[in-house]
Amino acid sequence: MKPEDRCAIEWECARLIHHYANLTDAHDWEAIVALYTEDGLMTRPTAPDDPIVGRDALMEAFTSRPPRISQHVCANVVVTVESESEASAYSVILLFTGKEAEDGGLPHKNDGPLVGYYKDRFKLTQEGWRFSERRGALTFRP
C-alpha cells in the first residue's frame, strides 16, 4: 500500500469519529446510523457489556433516549490501517451534558464530563468507510 493511500484511509476514519460526535450533538440519528455497516455493533461507554447490533436496533437505541443537550470532544485519535478495506482506531471522548436554561440562554452544564474511550473497527463499503464496531467504555467513574 502506498503511503498516500494509508494516509487517506487514516483521514477518512478519523473524520468518521469526529463527524459522529458532531452528529450526536445535533441529534441527527439517521445520519449517525448511516455511518455504520448494516450489521454494525455499538456499545455505549456507560454500557460496555450491552451491545446494540444492526442499523434498526441502533436507530431504536438512539431515538428512545430522553433528549439532552450534549457536547462531545474527541481526542487522541489514532487510526491503524490493517488493509485496503479494514482499519481500527482508539480515541478518547469527553462528554459534557446539560439542560436548557429557562431564560432561553446558554444551557446549564451538569457536573463534570464523562471521560471514556472508543475502540473502533472500520470497513470500506460501497457507501464508503463505515463503523463495523464502536466499543465504548468509561475511564473514570461518573
Instruction: State the CB neighbour count (10 A cutoff) for residue 85.
Output: 12
Q: Where are the alpha helices (DSSP H) in 1-142?
A: 3-25, 29-33, 55-63
Structural domain boundaries in the chain:
3-138
Q: Where are the alpha helices (DSSP H) in 26-120?
A: 29-33, 55-63
Q: What is the pTM of this model?
A: 0.92
Quick one: CATH architecture of 3-138?
Roll (3.10)
Instruction: State the CB neighbour count (10 A cutoff) for residue 27.
Output: 15
pLDDT in tens, 33-69: 999 999 999 999 999 999 999 999 999 999 998 888 9
pLDDT in tens, 79-133: 999 999 999 999 999 999 988 888 888 888 888 899 999 999 999 999 999 999 9
